[in-house]
Structures are given as structure tokens and as C-alpha cells.
Amino acid sequence: AGMGRTLVELFYDVISPYSWLAFEVLCRYRHIWNIDLRFRPAFLGGIMHQTGNKPPAMLPKRGEYLLKDITRMAKYYQVPLHMSAGAFQHLMGTSSLTAMRFITAIDMTNPQFLEPLSREFWMRFWSQYEDISKPENILAVARQAGISAELSQKALEMTSSPTVKDRLKDTTAEALKYGAFGMPAVVAHYDGEPHLFFGSDRLELLGSIIGE
């Protein structure tokens, strides 16, 4: 972290709508708060599995609430996230593993594209309901994020390499080490210790703790 700046890590998966909200808000606040924001693409499926957590929408009443909550949050933060009743089926039927490996490969090779690429994945998945597990869709997302065909082809090939698989596993393990049980997991390194915040509705608390 820069001189006197607080390192804030955002552990996220593009399959998580609340992660998108936290991502956009933190992107806005990194220019207002004295923070170094670090994006940490991780695998939500691995975190759920390791902690025995269940998707909140599996509880019907909670699912009903989530629809309203995410719609309100998206409007409040002006993020083009569209929730419909069919969104959860769409969500449950998709694995984000290849997408998160692809994002990890880009992070390792061309980190300057990490932010626009992640945003574009959320746009595709949560605004247009596209299947982000298909290679051709992943390449289309990369193209939209300004990544050349050559670079994205290389990153796609890297998704099956041990290097990328291990990096994603390690980042996911790091989130678990901080106490994550879902996403987004925001970790602020302040006063010599890590502070974990879960979800996109604890950002004012994060600000308060880091003196912002």
C-alpha cells in the first residue's frame, strides 16, 4: 500500500450480484478515500463448499426478499443490475469456474484489464443473462472489455493450466483464511490487522473503521 494508504482487498466472483454492487461502490470511493483497492478474483463455489454455506435464495422467503433488495440496491447505486424471478434458476444453473479462471489468467498476464473485464462479465450475466461459462461468450466479454483476440485466446488456453488453477485456489483459500463464508468479502488492512466485511451493505462501517 502507498504511504499511509489503507489496503482494501475485494474478494469477488462475477456470479455474485452483491459483489458487483460492492465493486462499483469501492471503485468510486477509491478516489475519495485514502485507500489502495486491490481486486482479488476468487471462486464463490469453493467458499460455499468449504464453509458449508448455502445460496440464500434456497430459502424461498429469503429469495423473495433478495429480488427486492438487489433491485433497490441497484437503483440506489445506479448499477444496471436486473433481477427477475428467473434469475435464481439462471444463477443455480451456471458455474463461474471457467470465467473466474479466465479473469485470473488476465490478472496474471494483463492486470490493467482486470477491472473492465470483471465489470463486463457482470454486465453480461446480470444485465443480459448470458451463459458466461461458454468459451465463445467468454471471448465476447473479453472483446467488449477491450482485450485483443490474441490475448484472450491465450488467457482461455491458460484456464486449464495448473498455474491459473492454483492461483484461483490460493486466492480463494486466502479469503477463507480471513473468515469469508460468501461474497463479496472485503478485507481492510488497518492498524496492523485485517478487518473482514461481508456483503455490499457494510461499506459505511468499513469507512468508519478506517477513519474515513
β-partners of residue 92 are none
Find out whether 136 and 128 touch, Cβ atoms under 8 Å.
no
Instruction: Order across the sheet with 193-198: list the strands.
Output: 35-41, 6-12, 185-190, 193-198
One-letter-per-residue 3-state SS of the chain: CCCCCEEEEEEECCCCHHHHHHHHHHHHHCCCCCEEEEEEECCHHHHHHHHCCCCHHHCHHHHHHHHHHHHHHHHHHCCCCCCCCCHHHHHHCCCCHHHHHHHHHHHHHCHHHHHHHHHHHHHHHHHCCCCCCCHHHHHHHHHHCCCCHHHHHHHHHHCCCHHHHHHHHHHHHHHHHCCCCCCCEEEEEECCEEEEEECCCCHHHHHHHCCC
**Has 16 been annotated as catalytic?**
yes
β-partners of residue 36 are 7
Set 16, 19, 96, 200: catalytic member: 16
The catalytic site residues sit at: 16
